[in-house]
Amino acid sequence: MRISIDRMKYNQEGVFVGINNELRLHLAGMGLRAGKKIKMITREPLKGPVVIQVDHASISLGIGIADKLIVEVDE
Amino acid sequence: MKVLLMGHPNVGKSVIFNRLTGANVVSSNYPGTTVDYTQGYMRVFDRDIEIMDVPGTFSLDAKDKAEEVAVKMLMENPDAKIICVIDTSKLERGLYLALEIIERGFPLVLALNMWDVALDKNIVIDLQKLEVILGIPVVPTVAISGEGISTLVEKLIDVEPVDILHISNTMKLSCLMTSPGCAGCKGC
């Protein structure tokens, strides 16, 4: 099932599918690229940022970015 | 000779700078501590080497003011040698920046900083293989205690630029030789 990152549940894991625009390079610099396993760490309320784990790094993403990024998760 | 210290925010560039120059620039465990650059000198084999501590940047496409400073400094010093500092436990994402710098033709030494922290996290890195693939010196360092700093300087003196195509070739070769656990760079 494919959902956007901001809709993942706490501790849920998934595989980043990718994105095809200028954001791609920005994310690649932070280690997030297609095929990467990611894990939801926390999602702040009230349209706050989303923190995910990629490899051994935590990355926080603004909700405006997180809702554009698609991950493949198990049902 | 000019040397630029580059790397992601909060990987220890300023601590390495202090180690190399004996200066005392502010460093803290917080990304974005260095927003402007600092210059210093060290003396190796009777040669003065100018070192510049560059603000942290994730890539060479600047996203904010501090990153703009970093990219501008790189572009203004086309004859500089680069020490690319990487947080060892976040090796992969650090390599992205390193490769970008190599691609622009700069001679580069990789400093795998916070090596001790990576050990604590049970992260094992095959240094020799990494050196073979990249064709550049890779030095494990622990900047706060000074480990690896002198090796870093030694390797820095003779470092030469490498061709990015060479790296992609060795990468494909080593991909063929490695394990089923390959994440799939689609290079092979």
Q: Which two tokens stand for residue B64?
A: 């904010």
Q: Is A23 part of the contact surface with chain B (CB cutoff 8 Å)?
A: no
Reply yes or no on whether the pLDDT at B30 is more than 70.
no
Segment-wise mean pLDDT, segments of 10 residues, chain A, 75 residues? 87 86 78 88 86 88 86 84
Report the mean per-residue pLDDT for chain B. Answer: 86
Tens digit of each residue's pLDDT (9 = 90 or more) over B140-176? 999 999 999 999 999 999 899 998 888 888 887 776 6
Q: Which chain A residue has its CA at the smallest distance from B87's CA?
A: A57
Domain spans of chain B? 2-162
Find the helix or strand (DSSP H, E) in which B174 lies: helix B164-177
HSE of B44 in the Cβ direction (CA atoms, 13 Å)?
20
- CA-angle at A8, arms to A47 and A31, nearest 5°: 90
Q: Exposed, middle or buried: residue B88 (CB in 10 Å: 0-12, 13-18, 19+)?
A: buried
Of B89, B97, B184, which is closest to A29 when you measure between CB atoms? B97
Going B184 to A67 to B60 to A20, the CA torsion angle's sign is: positive
Contacts of A26 in chain B (CB under 8 A): 58-59, 61, 63
**pLDDT recorded at residue B80:** 94
Flag whether the ipTM exceeds 0.85: no
| C-alpha to C-alpha distance for B114 and B131, rounded to whole angstroms | 18
Beta bridge partners of B51: B3, B40
In CATH terms, the fold of domain A2-72 is SH3 type barrels. (2.30.30)
Reply yes or no on whether the pLDDT at B104 is more than 90.
yes
User: What is the mean predicted confidence (pLDDT) over B73-85?
Assistant: 94
User: What is the mean predicted confidence (pLDDT) over B24-32?
Assistant: 68
Q: Which CATH code for domain B2-162?
A: 3.40.50.300
Of A29, A30, A56, which is closest to B121 when you measure between CB atoms? A56
**Range among A49-58, B29-38, B178-187 with highest mean pLDDT value:** A49-58
Domain spans of chain A? 2-72
| C-alpha to C-alpha distance for B173 and B15, rounded to whole angstroms | 36
